[in-house]
């Protein structure tokens, strides 16, 4: 929930920046046109008038044209975007417990290690965890390689890509922490691994919540 609130605040700040930039562009354009109409100032300063025209064109492109093009692309490719988001969600969901088309999504989470540092069963648990991390990383990487180019050119999908990259890095950190615990066999390494697993699970949940929002599915906290 905390991560979701942070993302909401970031989106609110981004909207505020966009509004402020748009207002500044309109104000600057109005001043330039007003000076030209009232005084004919730009007719006497050819170089400055060219620079002013370039500034107006740049502001118009950044604040209006680029966003219109992005919105148009997002609307045009909405069905394919939905397919991509659904595939990402399927890659993260427990297929036996989930019914994605009906809004029920149960996300697979990384399990915590139950064995103590010197327990005989620790090696088997760490081996299973590393195998699971490798499998989940490969699933996510396969979907990312399939959809990355399309998603970067078909709408405002930066948040999705950012979450996927975070999770991929999180899997690597869990794997490294598991290797460290296998080597050190101490409480500090066990706590470090538990922390990395919690962080990776939080990132998985954040991506799932964003995908649910994009697909307009009911939000739930179910996980396995």
Per-residue model confidence as pLDDT tens for the chain (224 residues): 455 555 556 666 766 766 776 677 677 777 766 666 666 655 666 666 666 667 767 767 766 666 666 677 667 778 888 999 999 999 999 988 888 878 888 999 999 999 898 898 999 999 999 999 999 999 998 988 899 888 887 777 888 888 898 999 999 999 999 999 999 999 999 999 999 999 999 999 999 999 998 888 866 545 55
Residue 26 domain flag? yes
| Cα–Cα distance for residue pair 208/9, rounded to 1 Å | 18
220 inside domain: no
Is 137 inside any structural domain?
Answer: yes
In a domain, 139, yes or no: yes
13 in the same domain as 109: no
Question: 120: domain range?
Answer: 78-215
166: exposed, middle or buried (Cβ count in 10 Å: 0-12, 13-18, 19+): middle
Quickly tell me which residue has 């209006």 as its tokens.
Answer: 64
Q: Which of 76, 99, 119 is the last residue of a domain?
A: 76
Residue at 128 is within a domain: yes
Residues 82 and 193 in one domain: yes
Q: Are residues 119 and 179 in the same domain?
A: yes
- Check whether residue 87 and residue 147 sit in a common domain: yes
* Cα distance between residue 130 and residue 182, in whole Å: 11
The total number of structural domains in the chain stands at: 2
Task: Write the DSSP assignment of 105-135 as a string of letters.
Answer: --B--PPPP-S-TT-TTHHHHHHHHHHHHHH
d(CA 2, CA 97): 26
Residue at 223 is within a domain = no
Would residue 20 count as lying in a domain? Answer: yes
Same domain for 93 and 71? no
**Residues 210, 116 within the same domain:** yes
Res 46: pLDDT: 61
Is residue 222 domain-resident? no
Helices (H), ranges, the chain: 2-39, 41-44, 46-60, 66-76, 78-92, 122-152, 158-184, 187-215
5-6-11 Cα angle (round to 5) = 95
Domain boundary among 55, 76, 97: 76
The domain boundary residue, chosen from 23, 46, 76: 76
Based on the fold, state whether residues 29 and 122 are members of the same structural domain: no
Residues 57 and 148 in one domain: no
What is the C-alpha to C-alpha distance for residues 201 and 204, in angstroms, rounded to an integer? 5
Q: Tell whether 57 and 107 lie within a shared domain.
A: no
């Amino acid at each position: 929930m905390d991560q979701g609130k942070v993302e909401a605040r970031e989106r609110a700040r981004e909207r505020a920046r966009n509004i402020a930039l748009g207002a500044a562009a309109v104000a600057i354009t109005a001043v330039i046109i007003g000076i030209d109409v009232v005084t004919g100032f730009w007719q006497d300063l050819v170089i400055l008038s060219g620079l002013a025209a370039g500034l107006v064109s740049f502001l118009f492109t950044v604040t209006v044209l680029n966003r219109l093009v992005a919105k148009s692309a997002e609307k045009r490719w909405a069905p394919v975007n939905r397919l991509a988001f659904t595939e990402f969600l399927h890659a993260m969901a427990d297929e036996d417990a989930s019914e994605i088309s009906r809004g029920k999504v149960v996300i697979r989470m990384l399990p915590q290690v139950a064995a103590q540092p010197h327990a005989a069963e620790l090696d088997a648990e760490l081996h299973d965890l590393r195998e699971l991390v490798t499998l989940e990383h490969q699933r996510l990487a396969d979907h990312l390689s399939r959809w990355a180019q399309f998603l970067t050119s078909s709408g405002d999908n930066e948040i999705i890509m950012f979450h996927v990259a975070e999770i991929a890095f999180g899997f690597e950190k869990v794997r490294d922490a598991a290797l460290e615990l296998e080597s050190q066999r101490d409480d500090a390494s066990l706590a470090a691994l538990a922390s990395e697993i919690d962080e990776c699970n939080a990132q998985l949940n954040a991506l799932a919540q964003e995908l649910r929002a994009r697909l307009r599915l009911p939000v739930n906290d179910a996980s396995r």
